[in-house]
Amino acid sequence: MKPKIVRSVESLRREVARWKADNLTVAIVPTMGALHQGHIELVNEGLRRADRVVVSIFVNPKQFGANEDLSRYPRDEEADIEMLALAEVPLIYAPMAEDVYAPGFSTSVHVQGPATVALEDKYRPHFFDGVATIVAKLFIQSAAQYAMFGEKDYQQLQVVKRMAKDLNIPISVIGVATIRDQDGMAMSSRNRYLSKTERTQAVAIYKSLTQAAEKIRTGTNSQTATRAASRSLSTLGFKVDYVTARNAETLAVPTTAGEPLRLLAAAWLGKTRLIDNLAV
Ligand code: AMP
């Protein structure tokens, strides 16, 4: 069945209120469209947790910097709707930017903690306030009980969890494991920017993280292992923003032996910025 598409907050609220009147639980899956199997896995997990899922599709201008890829970000609503129909999503919320940020819009959610650990925040200074603002709006607008977020954007997942907790928004933020292509490359809408050759090269990010994780597991110091991963990516032609091991929850630089670690990487391949991360 084709999903119902709503574009206003009022219609979204009406649909969700109807479900809730029938005692059905609701999960929201926030996306920027250009959907792939990673997004669908969030939908599937949402349907396991809740009775109904609403997928939002909105390319949020507030999370893009002036020199970033907002204007060329891939948009394909028709294909997205088809994928969501196959995944049996009943409701899509696809608002217009001029409605989301109506004239006079003056409020921003400013996040710190996991949003200020010199990872994505260092290279994309406005990103997390932009994400927190739109996600807080989506949580309030949808009144969903569950929200599904990918571990692919690991720092974002921690920031969103923190934000929902700090603002007392009654929603459970659920992290979903990264879906990968057969070679291990993390699926991403931005992979569409890669040429065929670049796509073949790009898996090196995953491979270098896997190798670093293996080294750490067998006793190598985490800094030594991530430095080697960074060097090997540079040698292969990547411009590395960071490859680092952090505390898996706070994302702080690890200080004690035996802390749970997460390896995180961001690197440019040509004109495309790619991120990935892995548990140790
Ligand atoms: P985006 O449309 O890229 O903003 O992503 C929307 C949601 O899908 C975010 O919670 C992402 O973390 C998640 N996501 C993106 N790629 C993947 C993937 N390969 N596996 C799992 N979740 C993903």
What are the tens digits of pLDDT across the range 191-208?
A: 999 999 999 999 999 999
For the chain, list the strands marked E by DSSP.
4-6, 26-31, 52-57, 91-93, 146-150, 172-176, 239-247, 261-269, 272-279
**Whole-number Cα distances in Å, 255 to 25, 32, 222, 223, 225:** 41, 36, 11, 11, 16
Q: Convert the pLDDT of each residue in 143-157 to its tens digit.
A: 999 999 999 999 999
Q: Tell me what percent of the residues of the chain surpass a pLDDT of 90.
A: 98
Q: What is the pLDDT of residue 258?
A: 87
Ligand 1 atom 18, closest CA: 38
Ligand 1 atom with the shortest distance to the CA of 32: 2
Q: What is the pLDDT of residue 271?
A: 95
Mean pLDDT throughout 268-280?
97
Nearest residue to 4 via CA among 55, 41, 38: 55
Q: What is the mean pLDDT of the chain?
A: 97
Decide if pLDDT at 1 tops 90. Answer: no
Nearest residue to 240 via CA among 217, 208, 212: 208
Q: What is the pLDDT of residue 116?
A: 98
Nearest residue to 271 via CA among 226, 239, 235: 239
User: What is the Å distance from ligand 1's center to 31 Cα?
Assistant: 7
Q: Convert the pLDDT of each residue in 160-219 to its tens digit.
A: 999 999 999 999 999 999 999 999 999 999 999 999 999 999 999 999 999 999 999 999
Asked if 16 contacts 6 with a C-beta cutoff of 8 angstroms, the reply is no
Catalytic residues: 39
What is the pTM for the complete model shown? 0.97
pLDDT band at 45 (very low <50, low <70, confident <90, very high): very high
Mean pLDDT throughout 74-102?
97
Ligand 1 atom with the shortest distance to the CA of 150: 12
- List pocket residues of ligand 1, CB cut-off 6 Å: 31-32, 38-39, 41-42, 149-150, 152-153, 176, 178-179, 186-189
Q: What is the pLDDT of residue 6?
A: 98
User: What is the Å distance from ligand 1's center to 178 Cα?
Assistant: 8
> Tokens 């710190």 map to which residue?
112
User: What is the Å distance from ligand 1's center to 221 Cα?
Assistant: 30
pLDDT band at 128 (very low <50, low <70, confident <90, very high): very high
Decide if pLDDT at 246 tops 90. Answer: yes
Q: What is the pLDDT of residue 238?
A: 98
pLDDT band at 257 (very low <50, low <70, confident <90, very high): confident
